[in-house]
Amino acid sequence: MNTPIYSRPYPRTLSLGAASVEICPMTAANAGAFGRFIQGMPEHDLLFVRRDIRHPKVIAAWMDALEHRRFVSLAAWEDDAIVGCAAIVVDSLSWSPQVGELRLLVAPTWRGRGLGRALIQESFAVALSLGLEKLTAQMTVDQHAAIALFEELGFRAEAVLRNHVKDREGNAHDMALLSHDVAEVQARMHTYGVQEALDR
């Protein structure tokens, strides 16, 4: 990832109803705040991430990936607490360097206020500046809010991976794989609210 990542200036303040958050690129210096944010998430909401992100070693690996630009990530801050984050994971040495995996998390107390949608729209802008061609997102099939949100923004189901993840109790869950053509995002910026998000 040697291309400029963020095509526009951060931090930016985003008003969501009566409240506001500050959106900034996440850096390795944010490890502590990110750890506190993750500890506040229900386990079931974390099953879409391949490894248990609550584990300090996994957090350290994420921070290392950020430092070395294998991830790009935006965090939404309320004062000194992270309340949402979006990450795009690209493996530039794989056979799919044109594909980014989008990961999105919003703190339970912040859900339903439009933060998830805003973070996806911001991520679309990042995907465009990275020159990606395709975005994917994975979530357990019972994450109805997440599926509704991603579909509203143009993602479509591409596969269901049966019994793909197991929670700590050993219960298996199916995983939905959704994807979006980034060229289509560019062609339909208004439909997906990206242009409006960029103009905000």
What's the burial of 128, exposed, middle or buried (CB within 10 Å: 0-12/13-18/19+)? Answer: middle
How many other C-beta atoms are found inside a 10 Å radius of the C-beta of residue 79?
7
CB of 64 to ligand COA, least distance (A): 21
| 137 contributes a contact to ligand COA by CB under 6 A | yes
| 157 contributes a contact to ligand COA by CB under 6 A | no
Only segment of 51-59, 99-107, 123-131, 160-168 that touches ligand COA (CB under 6 A): 99-107
| Structure tokens that stand for 173 in this block | 């869950």
Q: Which of 3, 17, 144, 168 binds ligand COA (CB under 6 A)?
A: 144
- The SS3 assignment for 46 reads helix
CB of 54 to ligand COA, least distance (A): 14
**For ligand COA, the closer CB: 12 or 113:** 113
CA distances from 19 to 14, 108, 116 (A): 9, 15, 14
Closest residue to ligand COA using C-beta atoms: 116
